[in-house]
Structure 1
Amino acid sequence: MSEAEIKSGDFTDPWRLCTVTQVEELKILIRMFPIWATGIVFFAVQAQMSTIFVEQGMLMDRKIGSFNIPPASMTSIDVISVIFWVPIYDMIIVPVARKFTGRERGFSDLQRMGIGLFISMLSMTAAALLEIKRLQLVKELGLVDDAGAVPLSIFWQIPQYMLIGTAEIFTAIGQIEFFYEQSPDSMRSLCSALGLLTTSLGDYLSSFILSTVTYFTTTGGKTGWIPDNLNMGHLDYLFWLLAGLSFFNLLIYTVSAMRYKEKKTP
């Protein structure tokens, strides 16, 4: 308290004088920020499921008899993956992990989120490998200028969708629990909203990455990685870029998680 405040008796300005509790709550938010920021890249990767994955599926064999599978419907695999893994996680993975970690939930929230970030990197790797195979067929069949689909079943996309769904079980749910438990008691609603904010920021980051890649890969009249005719492009390069970004994000997350000081609970 300054002499002026003592003389005037005015202690109402929170920017000049606040309680110890308010200071500690701000410290908690600052410690949580690096963990929160790494979630943005995760959701940028997840955004590919409803954008680039669909574009990739449009140039694959979508026929089952006389029926054509809509490429966008493949996103339902993500939902199926979540439904499949939730009971397995609760009934098998958690009890096994509990024996090794001694934790009631098997993993800490930070460990759970880290596993999900690693799996999301694998989903981009799977997508890149599939695109490499698809482009090989494009060259072999002479479809580079044709913009036609290749005789490669769209069901080969299932692994990348399944991996993203699995990553959600770990990172998305772990993030919700982390923000709720580690946030100050008076700010739990706000911190839960910050967790949801990473989803929208991830979409913006995805758009920024696509715009940046398009700009730099089309300079000088080049075709670029993502042309209108994807048979002439290199979606695999984009997937490798996202996998590399996910790996770098995982390293930052690991360092931040190791240095994170959990909130003291009474």
Structure 2
Amino acid sequence: MTVIWRVLFSAWKKRGYPYPSDPELLNDYHNSKVPHTDMFRCLDKAAILDNNSGGKYNSDPWILSTVMEIEEVKMVLKLIPIWSTCILFWTVYSQMTTFSIEQATFMNRQVGSLVIPSGSISAILFVSVLTFTSLNEKLIVPLARKLTHNVQGLTSLQRVGTGLVFSVVAMVAAAIIEQKRREIATRHNTQISCFWLVPQFFLVGAGEAFAYVGQLEFFIREAPERMKSMSTGLFLSTLSMGFFVSSLLVSLVDKATKKLWLRSNYNKGRLNDFYWLLAVLGLFNFFVFLVFAMKHQYKVQHFVNSDEEELKATKT
């Protein structure tokens, strides 16, 4: 993290400097293990040799950065667009631990003489995750390898995209089911079975099996070698930001609808409209993700290493 602040500070301090005519004039260009790129060129100014500050003999990293440090910062910045589109998945996920659990209290939870605790409904989520994680390794990935002729089967971004699609479908299913539940409860004064919640839990669980693995793999593989711990932090921050956005969205919806949508009594509220809102936001977020994903360039060396490891594993 310190490297990022140093590069940004040095680049800002030299913002008025002209770009060098040749990138090879940048500090430590030939010793960089990471090839120089033209993206975020403004950061290259951090490696401009300045005679006023001692030129190449200046050892203060806050004044003069190396090309390798700058390229590492560029790699991190390149992850931000994908990072931003991963947040909404966890916003949807958070509904399974809040509103969907509360939904169950307004439904028939009796199975024979047993009354299922509303919180136990979330077990479906974990069963779904385990099921699709197993299917990924034994069915989906081998099938994808045959279709794409890629040893990875599905790339990390394809996994994330699949997870986002599942989250959108889950919110559509949740909206339809909640609308049906409320209609039956208000018109016929009866409760439908809590097992009608299975589709939305199952779909979100399936999405998590793809999105979680895809995000973790993406951030670890695409981050600079010397910033692996930070890449894990980036991934985990999408989870926390997702729950934060959920709280923010609830507050905004409460203000905009004067608490007509999200009431403590779901039979008098319009939770289904909130789910529809999440579905629309999720769909928009997915298209934004597609744009960023198509423009993203993977680190080639990671694919090479991954391919070699996969080939060795299949041979043994």
TM-score by length of 1: 0.92
Q: How does 1:117-128 map to 2 (within 5 A)?
A: 117-128=164-175
Within the candidate set 244, 249, 262, 2:285 is matched to 249
1:7 deviates by 6.8
In structure 2, the partner of 1:229 is 265
In the alignment, what sits opposite 1:3? 51
**In the aligned structure 2, how far is the partner of 1:44 from the partner of 1:120?**
10
TM-score (norm 2): 0.78
Give the SS at the match of 2:191.
Answer: coil
Structure number with the bigger relative contact order (C-alpha 8 A, sep ≥ 6) is 1
Letter in 1 for 2:181: R
Work out whether 1:140 is the aligned partner of 2:180: no
Match of 1:43 in 2: 90
2:122 to 69, 75, 78: 75
Letter in 1 for 2:77: I
Q: What displacement does 1:81 show?
A: 0.7
Does residue 210 in structure 1 map to residue 210 in structure 2?
no
TM-fit CA distance, 1:168: 0.7
1:83: Cα distance to partner?
1.3
Q: Over residues 36-61 of structure 1, what are the superposed CA-to-partner deviations in whole Å (9 max), with x where a residue is unaligned?
A: 11111110110001100011111011
8 Å contact 1:120–1:246 — kept in the other structure? yes
Q: Which stretches of structure 1, 4 residues or more, deviate above 2 A after TM superposition?
A: 5-11
* Count of aligned positions: 254
Pick from 151, 164, 169 the counterpart of residue 104 of structure 1.
Answer: 151
1:200-234 per-position Cα deviation (integer Å, ceiling 9, x unaligned): 1111100111111111111xxxx600112211111
* Contact 2:185 2:191 (C-alpha < 8 Å) held by counterparts: no
Instruction: Report the alpha carbon displacement of residue 264 of structure 1 after superposing the two structures with TM.
Output: 3.4
Structure 1 counterpart of 2:236, from 188, 196, 199:
196
| Matched AA of 1:79 | F
Contact 1:28–1:263, Cα closer than 8 Å, also in 2: no
Opposite residue 155 of structure 1, the aligned amino acid is F
Amino acid across the alignment from 2:149:
G
CA 1:11/1:52 → structure 2, altered by over 3 Å: closer, same or farther?
same
Q: Deviations for 1:137-185, whole angstroms, at most 9, x for unmatched residues?
A: 02322x4xxxxxx321001111110101100111111100111111000
Query: Aligned residues: percent identity?
Result: 37
Q: CA deviation at 1:104?
A: 1.1
Question: Which secondary structure does the structure 1 equivalent of 2:153 belong to?
Answer: coil
Residue of structure 1 aligned with 2:65, choices 18, 24, 39: 18
Superposed CA offset, 1:21-48 (max 9, x none): 1111111111110101111111011000
Q: Which amino acid in the other structure matches residue 239 of structure 1? A: Y
Larger Rg, first or second structure (1 or 2): 2
